[in-house]
Amino acid sequence: MSTLIFPPISSTSLQTEEAAVLARELSWLLTSLQTTLRSLKSGLEECASLLAPAEPGSTLPLSSLRSEHLKGFITRVGTRIVKGDIHLRLPSLPPPKGAGSVKLSISTLPTAPTLTLPQLGQCRTLINSCLDVVDATLWTGDKENADFVSGQLRLLHENIQEAKGALKGWTEGQRAWNEEDMEVQAFNPPLPEHVSFHLSISEAAILLNIRVLELASPNAGPSTPVGANASYSGLSLRERLATAFGGPKPAHNDEANDVFSWKGKDVRVKEKVRVESQDPSLMAAMAKLGALERSIALERRALDVVMERDGD
């Protein structure tokens, strides 16, 4: 098919007509974006409701894979963990006399510190920021200013990406387990002083890591063996003798040879148990955020094409 114009027109007239067509396309796109933004706002409000602190909350089971090391549950209301009972059966954490396991119960006393999930707090803040951006674009800004709308779409896209990242479990500035100061009084009875209880979000699931800690030697470093009796098998002489005479085989972990600074002390992770529990509300919110991210990316690309500029 020929793309020639008949009857022929001058190059100056052709450029004028092309500019007029692009202006009409841009005007049409900016108008259609108003409907898209209202749809995005509805989706963001659904995400906000999924993360809202609505009673009775989400009760999630916790169970270690193929072992009896950890069993229990927690209840999440918004960004807070309001209830939970966890039973531990770890070789390095002997239970009280007469008990079959060590029980960790989240305190429900009004004076007890609150267990929170910072990633969920960050996600809610970003979603609220997205709603503010949509409202500003729809009601207070210049709807016919392509540069203004493009900037708002970019800000909206970045906030949605960060909110989704918070639910996936990687956020800039997120603190490591040994940098977070868990209040032992958040549990009733209080959490043992040599036990680290760390909650976080990973792939829209609640991730619990419990570590039994021991003091590192004064001269220890990240590459220093556990002790004088350390071996390449990972078992000390004492542990190998105990195992040979029928004792339980010690559980090893991916952090066993590292030294961490925890509450002003250098410690090693003697034993570690990791449990994930899928949260349906968080999974739904992450799926919706993913769909919103793709939608806004398509709109940004279309606007960049009509504005004749390279997209990012």
Q: Where do the domains of the chain lie?
A: 19-184+280-312
Q: What is the chain's pLDDT, residue by residue, as a tens digit (312 residues)?
A: 455 656 666 667 656 656 666 767 878 888 899 999 999 999 999 999 999 999 999 999 999 988 899 999 999 999 999 999 999 999 999 988 888 899 999 999 888 899 999 999 999 999 999 999 999 999 887 888 889 999 999 999 999 999 999 999 866 667 888 888 777 889 998 888 899 999 999 999 999 999 999 998 755 444 343 333 333 334 444 545 555 555 555 546 788 888 999 988 999 999 999 999 999 999 999 999 999 999 999 999 988 888 877 765
Q: Which two tokens stand for residue 93?
A: 């954490």
Find, among 209, 207, 131, the residue nearest to 168 by Cα: 207
Question: 11: phi > 0 → left, psi -120 to 50 → alpha, else beta; which?
Answer: alpha
The values of phi and psi at residue 279, to 5°, are -110, 110
